[in-house]
Amino acid sequence: MKPAAVRDGGAPARSAAADGGELDAIFGALSDPIRRAIVARLTEGECSVSQLGAPFAVSAPAISRHLAVLERCGLIARWQIGRVHYCRLIGDPLAQAAGWIEQRRAFWQGQLDGLAAYLDREEENSCAPSPTRPSR
């Protein structure tokens, strides 16, 4: 038999590098309601840390710990001007999710191309009628 045609070579290994831990870290960071609320607030734009903490009934050190978690997984950046601390969103978790979807979609599209080519070859190669072909 001929090798499967019309395929995008190396799909399994190609998609291996960009996935995995990073996405897990983001899911982990977003497993906390306060951190999700912080991310939601930051989607509107950068903000000082004290403004950011205002709606939450948690201490400033607790906010700081949440920000450290978000910073570690690359979701936010923090900086200081004078005595004011600021932060903003840098990672885009939705882009990560879209990347996850796109990788799988590309992989499966390649697989289904291969399946279609195989079914066509099988059809051509079958001299006798296939026993499972519906007779009706």
Partner 1 sequence: MRTFPDPPIPLAVELRRSFRAPAERVFRAWTQPAALREWWCPPGWAATAVEIDLRVGGAYSIAMRRTDGPGAVAVRGRFIEIRPPERLVFTWRWEGAFPDSPEAKVVIELRHAAGITELMLRHEQFADDGMRHLHWSGWLAACGRLDRLLEEAAG
- Asked if 3 interacts with partner 1 (CB under 8 A), we say yes
Least distance (Å) between residue 98 CB and partner 1: 5
- Asked if 39 interacts with partner 1 (CB under 8 A), we say yes
Binding mask 53-72 for partner 1 (x = CB under 8 A): --------------------
Least distance (Å) between residue 80 CB and partner 1: 26
Q: Of 64, 65, 71, 28, which Cα lies nearest the Cα of 48?
A: 64
Q: Which part of the chain contacts partner 1 (CB under 8 A), choosing from 30-38, 52-60, 61-69, 70-78?
A: 30-38
Binding mask 94-133 for partner 1 (x = CB under 8 A): x--xx-xxx-xx--xxxxx-xxxxxxxxxx------x-xx
